[in-house]
A = this chain, B = another copy of it.
Amino acid sequence: MPFGKPRAERADAVRNREHLLKTAREMLAECGADKVTMDGLAERACLGKGTVFRHFGTRAGIFRALLDADERRFQEQVMSGPPPLGPGAEPIDRLIAYGRARIAFLLDHHVIARAALDRNQPAPVGDPSVTQLHIRVLLQQGAPMPNIAGVAIQLTAALEGPLLLYLSRPDTDANETAEIYDLLADAWQTLIERLTR
């Protein structure tokens, strides 16, 4: 029997994983991210602790899994949604729209994204290479410049860094959030416009 189909995933495993994610989302909504403990989650889901670890590997893995679902939806908008975020608009306009949407996404998912950070792991949010690659391609199309690869890395960080590293304030109300969004989204636009002039 070849590698191609290493046997489908067991039905109970699928059921349990979904149940765990649902439970995790509940706990997250009720008590905040750092009240979501592995034991607590296992108990509330009426499953063994080992099961939780089998599915997610580490605590951060749970949050990564929670992000993934939304992340997939986000990337769908980018790949096949309406312009300017989706295909059809000018590369530079798409790049600006991408940044704005991404900042909004990260603000929304800020708590989860940060909880998905892991002491010893390359990258937390989504697959950074997806964002990075997208930026790189659009940049290449809209404004070729030397060292596109490096610039794309840094623009990725410019987008995701502030929300993961510097503005990690759980005590942010809706008003402030809107302000932060405007600040960063406008800054992103400035950055891209001047960069690609």
Q: Which residues of A contact B (CB under 8 A)?
A: 34, 114-115, 117, 119-124, 128, 145-147, 149-151, 153-162, 164-170, 183-184, 186-188, 190-191, 194-197
Copies of this chain: 2
A157 contacts B166, C-beta separation under 8 Å: yes
A165 contacts B162, C-beta separation under 8 Å: no
Point out the residues of chain B lying under 8 angstroms from A147, CB to CB: 183, 186-187, 190
Point out the residues of chain B lying under 8 angstroms from A156, CB to CB: 161-162, 166
B146 contacts A190, C-beta separation under 8 Å: yes
Q: Please pick, from B146, B153, B164, B168, the residue contacting A162 in the complex, using a CB distance under 8 A.
A: B153
A187 contacts B150, C-beta separation under 8 Å: yes
By Cβ-Cβ distance, the 5 closest A-B pairs, closest first, are A150-B187, A157-B161, A161-B161, A154-B158, A158-B158
Q: Please pick, from B115, B123, B168, B191, the residue contacting A166 in the complex, using a CB distance under 8 A.
A: B123
Point out the residues of chain B lying under 8 angstroms from A162, CB to CB: 153-154, 156-157
B34 contacts A119, C-beta separation under 8 Å: yes
Q: Can you report 22 residue pairs joining A to B where beta carbons are below 8 Å apart?
A: A117-B117, A121-B168, A128-B166, A146-B186, A147-B183, A150-B188, A150-B190, A153-B166, A154-B159, A154-B184, A155-B158, A156-B162, A156-B166, A157-B157, A157-B158, A157-B160, A157-B165, A160-B161, A165-B165, A191-B195, A194-B197, A195-B195
Known: A34-B119, A165-B160. A154 touches B191 (CB 8 A): yes
Closest beta carbon of chain B to A2's beta carbon, Å: 32
Q: Please pick, from B121, B122, B155, B191, the residue contacting A151 in the complex, using a CB distance under 8 A.
A: B191
B188 contacts A154, C-beta separation under 8 Å: yes
**From A122, A157, A197, residue with most partner B Cβ within 10 Å:** A157
